[in-house]
Chains A and B, each alone.
Chain A
Amino acid sequence: MASTDQQKEQYPSQGSAAAADEDILLDVRNLKTYYPAHSGVLRRQQNWVQAVDDVSFTIRRGETFGLVGESGCGKSTLGRSVVRLEKPQSGQVLFDGEDVLAQSGRELKRLRRDLQVVFQDPQASLDPRMKVRDIIAEGLVVQGTAGRDERAHRVADLASVVGLREEHLDRYAHEFSGGQRQRIGIARALALRPKFVLADEPVSALDMSVQSQVLNLLNDLQEEFGLTYLFIAHDLAVVEYISDRVGVMYLGKLVEVASSEELYADPRMPYTQALLSAIPGNNATGRRERIVLSGEVPSPLNPPSGCRFRTRCWMAQSVCAAEVPVLREVAPHHWAACHFAEAS
């Protein structure tokens, strides 16, 4: 194990030394997505917003990788970068061994079949002028992989898979409730039989009594089609429920990765501890002592040196300002970016 330490620092979520590459569907390496920040009268570019800064992780075939963090931490940018909805500055996204970021033209179009997205707001992501039938079929038309009859057949299939009825197909998206609209969004994402689905806050806009229907559907579809999910949400209880492994982001950095059970039971990074302790209701049930963080998240334009969490961390020492903590394995299959991960 010791000989592979170096490698593990680079690729934190490789399950074990024995885990063959075969098992890994998505391998993200040193991904950086920066946005230029303009200011002043001449709108000169002054700086970079480091939305995603040097993030590496892997997702295994068939697993659900949950990504949590507060607004502005870069979780959505990371998800969107992985499926090429954003253009990262540098790094690699290896999908089945092929670098998604290096592809263009026909190759990229082929890759896009396998990388689909379910968005948060089905209201905004479904074209109001299209019938449900055409929304679901759009990807098939663009990719030109199916003839007219096959398309119709496939759309009817998909509709029944996600729990829509035949007569729903000739209606418009606005005629449906939030939960049903999300079913339409899921059917569209599945039309091209993808291997990988980015689900970016898929249940956040839904009412509580409908949320569980969609979570069950996502689980059923994963089993039926062998899907791999990157599941992004700010709701920590939802992520705990649905994920096999969970990554925590803070100010553009991935700060902790572990199995869902392990992360929620024994968080090592102080930020993760504070985040999990803040889940409302946890205090009432006595699951965890509440840690109330002082202050606010610093600006991503000018993040603190060293550990980005140090300005709010109760364990911070001088080393935290001087050295950027690397994501390292602090317990079997448990990775944390903290100089004091063993102490906490």
Chain B
Amino acid sequence: MTGVRAAASPGPSDALLQVKNLKTYFKTRSGVVKAVDGVSFEVAAGASVGIVGESGSGKSVTSLSIMRLIERPGFIAGGEIIFQGRDVVGLSERQFRAVRGRDLALVFQDPMSALNPVYPVGKQIAEALRAHQALTSTQAMERAVELLALVGISAPERRVHDYPHKLSGGMRQRVTIAMALANEPSLLILDEPTTALDVTIQAQILDLVRDLRHRVHTAVLLITHDIGVVAEMCEEVVVMYGGQVMERGHVDQVTRDPQHPYTIGLLTSTPTPEMKGHRLATIGGTVPNPLHMPPGCPFQPRCPQAMDICATPPGLRAVGDGRTVACWLYEDSAPPAVITT
């Protein structure tokens, strides 16, 4: 057993972030929405992990839970989020404030939601710096200029005085990345960082993130609906559907040889040059109503290989090569529940 555990996942010592059986629910008038329902994964120091899923998969709620940004009627109903050895779920808001923005930083999809429209961008970066470091305002402004230069903004000594509305979408996203990196976080969470951007600007931002990862040695957790972006940016991928993890593993392996029927469906229904002139594979039906999730595997009503047993939660099981799959098809391959301790 211990052998399997060691092979299947990195030991707890080298994990920067461990999410264990996380449950984030929302109380609504019509019932409880289990937006995240038993999610487990790890991010090692300096690693890059992508969470991929469609709308309603729970990927963004997962990242907001890690940042402690879940607001009522949402709440963390169970599980642990262990960051740098400490369970942040139990921390008070005041204790967590020392972590958020310093060791743990977040970049949102819409940079305007992270920037204050009435202050110049330099001042905002300086403020982020001074919240966690003892710097004079002159020192902080100097550092802000350096950070803008680091994220590839030309003439940074002039740009620090610009207001957000003067910048284009791509430039604004660079500024929020500069702000996130201000205190040299050990984990940078990027939640759909390029979804609102054009494809050539997306390429610039992804290039920047990849380059920065090597220069400042920060771990990256990338949340996206685009498996192509994950394939390019990350070493590991977590595939989510209906609030649960369907499959985890190395990006190359998962994209080349998907194991879970949902991942298989997703990858084969994506248009590719090879599919031109052929009918695309489809996943029948639609994403289930979050108020009425099916029992057991959330993908079961749309799964071409569904069986009676799928009404029972399959649990993540290791299938070798450090990969885990939540599917009854792999019942025989390994003992279940390697990490959901």
Contact = CB atoms under 8 A, between A and B. Distances in A.
A283 B204 CA distance: 13
Interface in A275-314: 275, 277-285, 290, 292-293, 296-297
A94 interface: no
Considering the complex of A and B, which 7 residue pairs feature the smallest CB-CB distances, nearest first? Answer: A281-B228, A241-B271, A280-B228, A212-B269, A70-B198, A278-B203, A212-B280
Contact of B202 (A210, A240, A280): A280
Contacts of B201: 70, 296
B266 interface: yes
Looking at chain B's contact residues, the main secondary structure is helix
Contact of A208 (B54, B200, B206, B273): B54
Contact of A280 (B226, B276, B281): B226
B229 A281 contact: yes
Interface in A133-186: 177, 179-180
Contact of A237 (B203, B206, B270): B270
Contact of B200 (A211, A264, A278): A278
Contacts of A207: 54-55, 225, 287
Interface string B195-220: 00011111110110000000000000
A209 B271 contact: no
A15 B323 CA distance: 51
B160 to A, nearest CB: 19
24 contacts: A208-B54, A208-B266, A209-B266, A209-B269, A209-B283, A209-B287, A216-B279, A234-B199, A237-B271, A237-B272, A240-B273, A241-B273, A264-B273, A275-B199, A275-B200, A278-B200, A280-B199, A280-B206, A280-B228, A280-B231, A281-B228, A281-B231, A284-B251, A290-B207
Chain A contact residues, majority secondary structure: helix
Contacts of A179: 286
B272 A212 contact: no
Contacts of A209: 54, 265-266, 269, 282-283, 287, 302
Contacts of A70: 198-201
Contacts of B171: 296
A332 to B, nearest CB: 20
B265 A240 contact: no
Contacts of A281: 226-229, 231-232
Contacts of A219: 279
Given A260-B276, A264-B273, A296 B168 contact: yes
A177 B286 contact: yes
Contacts of B168: 296
Contacts of A211: 269
A281 B232 CA distance: 5
A213 interface: yes
A284 B207 CA distance: 13
A242 interface: yes
Contacts of A290: 203, 207
Interface in B232-282: 232, 251, 265-266, 269-273, 275-276, 279-282
B203 to A, nearest CB: 4
A316 interface: no
Contacts of A111: none
A109 to B, nearest CB: 37
A260 B273 CA distance: 10
A212 B282 contact: yes
A33 to B, nearest CB: 21
B301 interface: no
Contacts of A279: 199, 228
Contacts of A236: 199
Nearest to B286: A177
A215 interface: yes
A283 B232 contact: yes
Interface of B: 54-55, 168, 170-171, 198-204, 206-207, 225-229, 231-232, 251, 265-266, 269-273, 275-276, 279-283, 286-287, 302
A125 interface: no
A71 interface: yes
A210 B198 contact: no
Contacts of B206: 280
B282 A293 contact: no
Nearest to A215: B280
Contact of A278 (B199, B272, B275, B281): B199
Contacts of A321: none
Nearest to A211: B269
Q: Which of B54, B251, B271, B282 has the largest number of chain A CB atoms within 10 A?
A: B271
Given A70-B199, A212-B270, A280-B199, 18 more contacts: A207-B54, A207-B55, A207-B225, A208-B269, A209-B283, A211-B269, A212-B281, A212-B283, A215-B280, A236-B199, A241-B271, A261-B276, A264-B273, A275-B199, A280-B206, A281-B228, A281-B231, A281-B232
A241 B199 contact: no
B287 A241 contact: no
A324 interface: no
A292 B203 contact: yes
A326 interface: no
Contacts of A297: 198
Contacts of B251: 284
Nearest to B276: A241
A274 interface: yes
A240 B231 contact: no
Contacts of A278: 199-200, 202-203
Contacts of A49: none
A179 B283 CA distance: 12
A330 interface: no
A284 B200 CA distance: 16
Given A180-B286, A208-B54, A240 B276 contact: yes
A283 B206 CA distance: 12
Contacts of B279: 216, 219
A236 B229 CA distance: 14
B229 A280 contact: yes
B189 to A, nearest CB: 19
